Structure 1
Amino acid sequence: MDTLGPEQRRRRWLILAVVAAAYVLSFFQRFAPAGIAQDLAAAFQTSAASLGVLAATYFYVYTIMQVPTGILADTLGPRRILALGGIVGGLGSFLFGFAPSLDVALVGRTLIGLGVSVTFIAMLKLIAVWFEERRFATIVGICMLVGNLGSVLAGAPLSALAQATGWRGVFLGVGGLSMTLGVLCWLLVRDRPASLVAGGIEAPRVDRTVVLNGLRTVLKNRATWPAALLNTGMCGAFFTFAGLWATPYLMQVHGLSRNVAASHLSLWFGGFAVGCFFVGTLSDRLGRRKPVLLVTSHLLVLIFLVFLSCIKMPLAVSYALFALTGLTTAGMSLSWACAKEVNPPLLSGMSTSVTNMGSFLAAALLQPTVGWVMDLSWQGEMLGGTRFYDVASWRAGLLVVTLCAALGALCSWWIHETRCRNIWQAS
């Protein structure tokens, strides 16, 4: 942005650093139940289905807030919604940490989801306003790479810290961090550079009729749906399994210790973080979207079939498989580009939001569904104060996740090849 002076250039990096930290925290909160699933089951004496509902409340709220957050970012401004989101998320984390019962924990988890749901869209808005357009994609990619560090922290580091200090203490600390970041957003973040304010350039206002018409355009466009359903399948399977069930699966089916199981999860998240950065680059260099999506989506199904088999494997092989799973899952990040490139350029935010909703909705529905299916075949065995599920129960639950991944692979065949450019044409 050529109109920015040296002080404003420095300020935009400070703003980005604070918002990126909030983004890291949102990723951590998304996947935290996976690292402490056994603790939660023991603390609340809950069934797999109830544990799934507890983890899924985050995704229910996140799904509902996708489109409204874009409107709030344009009306209230990123600064206000980030500050408010940090406070709400912090209060939710405190409530979750102190929760004496499952019902109270559900309220806390809902508030967490509500608080962090605004972070990504607000971050995109700030990048668009404070940085040059030619640098937008690069900076967003870097922020996504950094944000995924939160999911890595939700694996082995969270598990180790929870064992050392107790899971409740972890969430109380995270609540304090969330509120601190909310205050910092209020103090340091500005919706627009001072040069734009001084120049009399008004902040854009949202015409709600335009918003509704834009949403209708995206939803009526048949080319939107293959990308949206691919995202639903691939990312939904990722959020469902990695977001809750992977650690107890490795412990109960493969007999791994909690720390080793959690380290597998960190490898998955780390592979996903690196993969998100490189998959887009590979696609851009090839000048193709569809071949990359075909390969990654089908490979993900094959990996879930391995999980479904519950076959025993050497530790080195299982580590490598989880790292590969992360790299493969990252293919779903191209679904946003595919949706954006088949819709009007002015509706890029709307098209990516619609595409994104499927994955969160799938996780919201499937996390408790997997638990419910496993509970149906539970034999009444307990271990360490929590329910122990045999291989047959895990296979029943994993079949649900595998079918979700298969939906993504199937829809990859209907993806419109855009050759990495916008191909939308008004009818």
Structure 2
Amino acid sequence: MKNNPKYGAYSLLRWSAFALVVLAYMLSFFHRVAPAAIATDLQQAFSASAAALGGLAGIYFYVYTVMQVPTGILVDTLGPRRIVTLGGIVAGIGSVMFGLASSMTDASIGRFLVGLGVSVTFISMLKLNASWFHDRHFGTATGLTVLLGNLGAVMAAAPFAWVLQFTSWRSVFIAIGGLSLVLALLTWFFVRDHPGEAGLPSMRELDGKAAHPPHQGHWFDGLTMVLGNRLTWPNFWLNLGLEGSFLAFAGLWAVPFLQEVYAMSRTTATIHTSLLLAGFAFGAMTIGMISDRLGRRRPVLVAAILLHLVCWLPLVFSLPMPRWLSFLLFLLMGLGAAGFTLSWSCVKEVNRHALSGIATSVANTGVFLGTGILQPLVGWTIDRAGSGQGAAMQYRLGILIFFAFVVFGFLATLRVRETYCRYLSE
């Protein structure tokens, strides 16, 4: 295919779209986990309890959850270019409002707008990947997306804590808001929804194959088809249990847990979350690539999530660990959690290509529903643990809740259908 004269234009447009939307996706990850690094600052700035802080952080996930299926419908009908542009504008305004907030109400409105704006980015990215990459490379392309996107999460951990030594968290969020607006403008001018929009054949047509057929009928019919497919739902439940607990832990409660239970400084605790997120980012790319090369989804998925589950056991029992071992544990925990990224490939491949946006959005809803439940639930548990118990015991109760969700997610993983890296409808 590289000998095809149209390949140069194809490659340029593909990677331009990929780069711009991935940058927006990195910002969404930053917003997702940044409250963990400034949890104490937020409590002091707004005189917030642990439950209130969990609710503030959870607003992002509530709106993200609600917007997943609508986003899938929008990208399947209007295209990702328009949706990402609008989302970047809304997120930019929200980030600036959050940085300027003088009350919990103002901060909540800003957090809501951030969640609303960035909620469209990832499903749009998956739709672009499905349009601009080979079907057999979808796992690798998505893994690369998550790898790069997670750099935003890594930046929101230890590097963010370092930056806070020189400036305020408010200034950082205002600057991030400005960057979101710039990316929205660039997306409008340089991103194309699919090759046909630029007058180019699809990837399958370049290989001499028939293009995937478009969806015939109303978007509601497509949504009904995806929701009515029983093979869709194991991917939803594994995301709710596994990735919901992972994001709630990494995004808010990991740092205070390590400080209270293992007496770590904030800097040391954020190094652990950085390793957790770095392991996840590296694992997403590696696991997607392994799956594509093996031509299998389910064995790789189950093995990775089993590793993640086992890594929770030392935390559940509050086992003492030397620092090198706790660093390694968090790195492996993140590596195993990355197995869930194959759920997007699996749910896409058990549905029709034309409905890939809706299918991946349904599965992705589980991620943010689980996180939105767990962040305030764990905060509520910490606030209301028995009065005779210390802070360390309160956090241990929260860890038990996380672990229960992880076990639930692992059981759902066992129900995922093997697709052999191709659409079952073919």
Taking the TM superposition and a 5 Å limit, the aligned residue runs for 1:183-202 are: 183-191=185-193, 196=198
- In 2, the alpha carbon distance for the partners of 1:170 and 1:57 equals 20
Contact 1:4 1:193 in 2 (8 A): no
Contact 2:75 2:83 in 1 (8 A): yes
**Where does residue 372 of structure 2 map in the other structure?**
364
- In 2, the alpha carbon distance for the partners of 1:288 and 1:138 equals 13
Contact 1:271 1:325 in 2 (8 A): yes
Shift of 1:127: 4.2
- In 2, the alpha carbon distance for the partners of 1:165 and 1:118 equals 30
Contact 2:140 2:292 in 1 (8 A): no
**What letter matches 1:359 in structure 2?**
V
- In 2, the alpha carbon distance for the partners of 1:69 and 1:238 equals 23
| 1:400 matches 2:408 | no
Q: Deviations over 1:227-283 (max 9, x none)?
A: 221121111111111111001111121111111111111111110011011112333
Structure 1 unaligned residues grouped into runs of 5+? 382-388
**Where does residue 390 of structure 1 map in the other structure?**
391
Shift of 1:9: 4.5
TM-score normalised by L of structure 1: 0.88
- In 2, the alpha carbon distance for the partners of 1:21 and 1:391 equals 38
Instruction: Provide the alpha-carbon RMSD of the alignment.
Output: 2.8
**Where does residue 353 of structure 1 map in the other structure?**
361
- In 2, the alpha carbon distance for the partners of 1:195 and 1:291 equals 37
Q: Deviations over 1:186-207 (max 9, x none)?
A: 34334456974599xxxx9987
Question: Which stretch has the larger CA shift, 60-69 or 50-59?
Answer: 60-69
Contact 2:135 2:422 in 1 (8 A): no
Question: Which stretch has the larger CA shift, 131-140 or 223-232?
Answer: 131-140
- In 2, the alpha carbon distance for the partners of 1:329 and 1:143 equals 16
Selected match of 1:63 from 40, 49, 65: 65
Contact 2:21 2:125 in 1 (8 A): yes
Question: Which stretch has the larger CA shift, 315-324 or 37-46?
Answer: 37-46
Selected match of 1:214 from 207, 222, 227: 222
Matched residue SS, 2:321? coil
Question: Which stretch has the larger CA shift, 313-322 or 340-349?
Answer: 340-349
- In 1, the alpha carbon distance for the partners of 2:350 and 2:414 equals 16
Selected match of 1:244 from 252, 274, 279: 252
The count of corresponding residues between Structure 1 and Structure 2 is 413
Shift of 1:17: 2.1
**Where does residue 338 of structure 1 map in the other structure?**
346
Selected match of 2:275 from 261, 267, 278: 267
**What letter matches 2:117 in structure 1?**
G
**Where does residue 325 of structure 2 map in the other structure?**
317
Q: Deviations over 1:40-63 (max 9, x none)?
A: 122212111111111111111111
Contact 1:82 1:122 in 2 (8 A): yes
Question: Which stretch has the larger CA shift, 355-364 or 273-282?
Answer: 273-282
Contact 2:223 2:358 in 1 (8 A): yes
Shift of 1:179: 1.4
Rate the CA distance shift 1:378–1:152 in 2: closer, same or farther, 3 A: farther
Shift of 1:286: 4.3
| 1:253 matches 2:254 | no
Matched residue SS, 1:165? coil
- In 1, the alpha carbon distance for the partners of 2:116 and 2:194 equals 25
Contact 1:75 1:205 in 2 (8 A): no
- In 2, the alpha carbon distance for the partners of 1:258 and 1:88 equals 32
Shift of 1:98: 1.1
Rate the CA distance shift 1:337–1:76 in 2: closer, same or farther, 3 A: closer
- In 2, the alpha carbon distance for the partners of 1:296 and 1:192 equals 32
**Where does residue 18 of structure 1 map in the other structure?**
20
Question: Percent of counterpart pairs with the same letter?
Answer: 49
- In 2, the alpha carbon distance for the partners of 1:219 and 1:192 equals 25
Rate the CA distance shift 1:184–1:50 in 2: closer, same or farther, 3 A: same
- In 1, the alpha carbon distance for the partners of 2:180 and 2:148 equals 17
